[in-house]
Structure 1
Amino acid sequence: MQVDEFPSKAGQYPPEMQWKRPFWLAQNLIERLPSVLKSRRYDLILFQRELVSTLLTLEPYFAGPRILDVDDAIWLHKRGGFAAKLARRCEAVICGNSFSQNYFADLGCKTFLLPTAVDTKRFSPKSDEGTEALVIGWSGSSANLIQLERLEPALAMVLETYKTAKLRVICDRPPNFRNLSAEKVEFIRWSPDVEVAALQDLSVGLMPIEDTDWSRGKCSYKMLTYMACGLPVVVSPVGMNAEVLALGDIGFGARSHAEWTEGLDTLLADRTLRARMGKTGRKLAIQNFSLDHLSVRLADIFRSVSG
């Protein structure tokens, strides 16, 4: 298949300053006009999101067939009605999890379930055995740091029990803990160049999320990267996180501070258990969520919709 991308030079998201937004919107739409004309040369159009954030604009003018790809609960945004309008103008919707699939299926849309893929060749276990150091890890954007910061009481208790253990935070800015000692927290500024190495020598990966509809629309990507690196996990058993946990013995689900403490304590105390769960997680990531595996399914979806 030949795939051509048409990204927005103006940027997907509106600028923070309100007075700039009309100019941003105009630039975005003007940029897209040639793409509308070119769309007639193609057998299929894939919208990886709406062309302009939270608005239905030129999408109906693109030549069909059209597919919408959804990996978040985008209908929950302010002005989220655009999601249903756009989906109904597409021949199919690819959904990253069953929560999103149920929403679009209820709208009468043809849907395909395709989880977010992880590159299991890039995200892989460390080649050597590593050190005996105990490192609890969290990776994510600063927008989600609040979820990690809410775990501070449980993290403090665990790090007090395991005197040599540390918490590693891989993010675009450091966390803002109130009481956790700075010497117990290792901050690594996220970049594509350091991301994998920063994960590989962790002892356990964390993915705390709130129990909300927005969280149920998440596709568990960070959890999958931990698994691909051969790490056991402790995660909030919400939405797809719970579905992935149910696939095998790969870690623990935790809702309360007591459960987070218990899950981390169990894993940090038993290196053999960590290795076994990490190996199972790696196997499941390759079998169910690898780029090689899911790209074939994606190609099959493209063929079935394009005819």
Structure 2
Amino acid sequence: MIRILCLHIAENQASYRYRVEQFLPYWKKYGIDMQPLRITSKSYPEKLSIALRSGKYDYVWLQRKPLAPIFISIIARNTRLIYDYDDALYAIESYLKRKPKPTQPGSKQIIRRLNTTLKKSSIIFAGSPILANYARSFNPVNTFIIPTSYSKLPEQSPTAKNGQTLTIGWIGNSGNLYFLSMIDHAASAIQQRYPSVRFSVMSGKAPEGLKTKWEFVKWSKEGENAWLDAIDVGIMPLEDDEWSRGKCAFKLLQYMAHGKPVVASAVGANLYAVLNGKSGFLASTEAEWETAFESLVSSQQLRLDMGETSLKHFLTAYERQQVQEQMATILHKHYKQIVQIPGNR
């Protein structure tokens, strides 16, 4: 049994739920004993104590939060470090229009901590090809692409609704509402042309200052699946910048798992999550967004066909069990190597 201490971010973060929590009930099936421990909000003495005791484990799995170099050095000396990240922490967030604070992505402190962590890690799990490319500049051999995954839903097939209203939906945290402004012209044009089309957003707050009329649904863990079932098309607009190119297309996976056709910006991991013209559309301009909306709004059969392809693609590449088996294989292969070579870090 491989013993791993997983130091993770706060439990209310989506990154924790989908890159740590959903795997926890299943690790022992793969011969892995995973002990989760929240690292955020820990004091300096608490972090030091955790680092000093890390030798009790075969690995310490650090999820997303790059710690100060002193803690990383102690952990890497005592055991083997696994670093898992799903955001471009080396870049400034798209919606941030000022210099980042020291604790924010893109700051000198975070970049220094991230780079140190990547150099000293025995295994790196990167959430997208872009993140993997960055990590490989520091750790070329032991970096692996592990996409964010989503649990398979009860057996279902996409079905066309009989109602007159068609719903185009976006789900995400409040900070990412910024990206809706990028498709506002296209969405409002469709809304005016097709009165039966509604746009629905599930988030922490409603979008503001847009021409498009968005129906707001307050996000809740309990209501998420019902909302995803109710929409007809899922969307993920992004800006083509360094921060967005590192994103892991998670909201697309949510739509895909529910058998929805998708429209997404042709940026980063979206390029792999969307089978352009088959499971949905990739768009680079507002004109392309409007054309994609028009195609899906005007053809129920296209929505149904793309939804079926979307679900199949999800089950093949992003379903929880598939991704967990991939990680378990990597871990056991690495562990076998270090057992054969005592003292190997």
Q: If the TM-score is normalised by the length of the shorter chain, which range does it land in?
A: 0.7 to 0.9
Q: Compute the displacement of 1:247 (Å).
A: 7.5
Q: Is the 8 A contact 2:169 2:235 kept in 1?
A: yes
- With 55-64 and 164-173 compared, the bigger mean Cα shift is at 55-64
State the partner residue of 1:165.
197
Report the TM-score, using the length of structure 2 for normalisation: 0.78
Report the TM-score, using the length of structure 1 for normalisation: 0.87
Which string of whole-angstrom CA distances, capped at 9 and with x for unpartnered residues, describes residues 14-60 of structure 1? xxxxxxxxxxxxx53222233224322211111112354xx434122
- Aligned-partner Cα distance in 1 for 2:72–2:276: 37
Which string of whole-angstrom CA distances, capped at 9 and with x for unpartnered residues, describes residues 243-294 of structure 1? 2224871111112111111100100111111011011110110111000111
Q: Is the 8 A contact 1:134 1:166 kept in 2?
A: yes
| Counterpart AA for 2:199 | L
Q: What pairs up with 1:179-198 in 2 under 5 angstroms?
A: 179-180=211-212, 184-198=213-227
Q: What pairs up with 1:38-187 in 2 under 5 angstroms?
A: 38-50=53-65, 52=67, 55-62=68-75, 63-76=78-91, 77-79=106-108, 80-109=111-140, 110-121=142-153, 130-132=161-163, 133-180=165-212, 184-187=213-216
Gaps of 5+ in 1: 11-26
| Counterpart AA for 1:163 | P
Q: Is the 8 A contact 1:50 1:56 kept in 2?
A: no
Q: Is structure 2 residue 258 aligned with structure 1 residue 215?
A: no
Which string of whole-angstrom CA distances, capped at 9 and with x for unpartnered residues, describes residues 181-220 of structure 1? xxx4211111111111111121111100000111111110
Residues 31, 126 of structure 1: CA spacing in aligned structure 2 closer, same or farther, 3 A cutoff? farther
- Aligned-partner Cα distance in 2 for 1:125–1:175: 32
State the partner residue of 1:233.
262
Equivalent position to 1:206, from 235, 239, 243: 235
Q: Compute the displacement of 1:125 (Å).
A: 5.4
Which string of whole-angstrom CA distances, capped at 9 and with x for unpartnered residues, describes residues 48-96 of structure 1? 12354xx434122122211111211112211212211111111121111
Q: Is the 8 A contact 2:136 2:143 kept in 1?
A: yes
Q: Is the 8 A contact 1:234 1:263 kept in 2?
A: yes
- Aligned-partner Cα distance in 2 for 1:208–1:146: 10
Q: Is the 8 A contact 1:136 1:204 kept in 2?
A: yes
SS of the residue 2:216 aligns to: strand
State the partner residue of 1:264.
293
| Counterpart AA for 2:33 | Q
SS of the residue 1:284 aligns to: helix
- With 138-147 and 72-81 compared, the bigger mean Cα shift is at 72-81
Q: Is the 8 A contact 1:250 1:278 kept in 2?
A: yes
Equivalent position to 1:281, from 301, 310, 316: 310
- With 170-179 and 223-232 compared, the bigger mean Cα shift is at 170-179
State the partner residue of 1:5.
36
SS of the residue 2:35 aligns to: coil
Q: Compute the displacement of 1:121 (Å).
A: 2.2
Q: Is the 8 A contact 1:226 1:232 kept in 2?
A: yes
SS of the residue 1:138 aligns to: strand
| Counterpart AA for 1:179 | K
Q: Is the 8 A contact 2:66 2:113 kept in 1?
A: no
- Aligned-partner Cα distance in 2 for 1:301–1:211: 32
SS of the residue 1:103 aligns to: helix
- Aligned-partner Cα distance in 2 for 1:201–1:125: 14
- With 72-81 and 291-300 compared, the bigger mean Cα shift is at 72-81
SS of the residue 2:263 aligns to: strand
- Aligned-partner Cα distance in 1 for 2:282–2:158: 28
